[in-house]
Amino acid sequence: LAKIWPKGTIHAFEPNPSTYSMLVKQVQDIANIITYNVALGDKIGMVDFYVCRHPYLPLEEDTADPSSIFPPIRDKMPNVRFDEVIQVPMLTLDHWAEMFGVDHVDFMWLDMQGAEGIVLQACPNIFSTARVIQTEVFREPFYENTMLLPDLDHFFYINGFVPIYQNVGRAGDVIYRRD
């Protein structure tokens, strides 16, 4: 994204401390990327974060994917271990924008393991400025409290967005554009 929009500012959020460290190393020489070690959600404060591991990663490896602020539905992901719950700070996008003086976001890319819906509902100010949103979607719940694709589609529709790209099986991605 930083190469596509070299004059834009990319704000990257990562709540997992070990993954955040890797992110910082990867983007340290890219001037237009700002990183934040926080979860985005529907409230401000500390929140449980469910750290999971793929079976092909060694136990000491801290790379956590697909971790989430939502508890996993374990029988939906039998090959993924959720070995740890940690506390991480959480902000709403509107609160973050107010703190950092951000008055608009042209493009959002949300890959939040089921929390996309609550994040969008909790940021009416910044959401109203977005022109394009790419989001992870689920047809079935892999995490508790996940807003499923039909409900997300409806949410985007009533807010003036139309889907312009979909790649969705049981889960996937949709790009919505404000009409």
Q: What pLDDT score does 156 carry?
A: 98
**DSSP characters for 38-100?**
-EESSSSEEEEEEEEE-TTS-TT-----S-BSSPB-GGG-TT-EEEEEEEEEEE-HHHHHHHH
**Cα(137)–Cα(143) distance, integer angstroms:** 12
Can you name the residues that pair with 167 across neighbouring β-strands?
Answer: 173
Kindly report the pTM of this predicted structure. 0.90
Answer yes or no: are the C-beta atoms of 135 and 166 closer than 8 Å: no
pLDDT (0 to 100) of residue 53: 67
Q: What is the pLDDT of residues 92-122, one digit of tens each?
A: 999 999 999 999 999 999 999 999 999 999 9
Contact by Cβ (8 Å): 37, 20: yes
Query: Could you give the CA distance from residue 152 to residue 146 in angstroms, rounded to a whole number?
Result: 10
Name the 3-class secondary structure at 20. helix
> Over the stretch 125-177, which tens digit does the pLDDT of each residue have?
999 999 999 999 999 999 999 999 999 999 999 999 999 999 999 999 999 99
Taking all residues of the chain, what is their mean pLDDT, rounded to a whole number?
92
User: Looking at the predicted structure, is the pLDDT value of residue 64 above 60?
Assistant: no
User: Cis omega before residue 72 (within 30°)?
Assistant: no
In this structure, the strands spanning 45-53 and 81-91 are antiparallel
